[in-house]
Amino acid sequence: AQSVTQLGSHVSVSEGALVLLRCNYSSSVPPYLFWYVQYPNQGLQLLLKYTSAATLVKGINGFEAEFKKSETSFHLTKPSAHMSDAAEYFCAVSDRSGGGADGLTFGKGTHLIIQP
Amino acid sequence: DTAVSQTPKYLVTQMGNDKSIKCEQNLGHDTMYWYKQDSKKFLKIMFSYNNKELIINETVPNRFSPKSPDKAHLNLHINSLELGDSAVYFCASSQDLNSHTDTQYFGPGTRLTVL
């Protein structure tokens, strides 16, 4: 069974500073990994996904994430935070052992706060 | 054009009532899902459907009954509502049943409050 752990339920950074949101996964088989963002009172939007093509994945809005098998991690980064990045971020895993319709297993989310 | 839409956006009701939430996707996808997001923002899969057929039921009480009249629609009917059913319910869709890499597209959510 797969699972995802997001370290830090809340992360606060200054505008212009580096954003680092941590995600570690547990899976019996090599996983597919996703980062989704949820703005207040909205649905989830895909930021980026790892599908084994490349370990460094670039997404929308300047975000990127690196898959590190040795560390079982898929941390999300952005070099310079913007006020509009304030949102809830979810890491999710899709286990290859089941069918795609198994759905995603989500982490508990990290609330990103941007200080002016 | 909204890709995945849900109605209503907000639903306030009394314990014991029966209610439905509707979901429609215009992406031509084969697979649709229902997720529940609790008060702590934790998201959990409830059901998945492929071409109108139930694929996954993640130990959801049988008071919850999904219905898929066609592959573009997946409605959620809830009987005998309980306080613990209060949550935000998200519908999602993806292209292919057998692809783990397909992006899931989420609706805007329905905030259900049971009084």
Would you say residue A1 has pLDDT above 80? no
Question: Cβ–Cβ of A103/B4 closer than 8 Å?
Answer: no
pLDDT in tens, A16-59: 999 999 999 987 777 889 999 999 888 899 999 998 778 999 99
Kindly identify which residue of chain B lies nearest to residue A92, measuring between CA atoms: B43
C-beta separation of B19 from B85 below 8 A: no
Distance (Å, whole) CA B108 – CA A102: 21
Residue A71 phi, psi (nearest 5): -105, 0
In chain A, which residue's Cα lies nearest the Cα of B10?
Answer: A41
Residue contact B45–A43, C-beta within 8 A: no
Find chain A residues with C-beta within 8 A of B45's C-beta: 102-105
* Chain B neighbors of A95, CB-CB under 8 A: 100
Overall residue count recorded for chain A in this entry: 116
Q: How far is the alpha carbon of A59 from chain B, nearest alpha carbon, in Å? A: 13
Using a CB-CB distance cutoff of 8 angstroms, which residues of chain A are in contact with residue B33?
Answer: 101, 103
Token pair 């215009």 is found at B26
CA dihedral A66, A67, A68, A72 (to 10 degrees): 130
pLDDT in tens, A63-87: 999 999 999 999 999 999 999 999 9
pLDDT at B60: 86
Q: What is the pLDDT of residues B73-105, one digit of tens each?
A: 999 999 999 999 999 999 999 887 666 677 889
**Residue-wise pLDDT tens digits, B13-61:** 999 999 999 999 999 998 899 999 998 888 998 988 888 788 777 778 8
- A94 vs A107 pLDDT, higher one: A107
Q: Is B68 on the interface with A (CB under 8 A)?
A: no
| C-beta atoms of A102 and B48 within 8 A | yes
The 10 Å Cβ neighbour count of residue B58 is 14
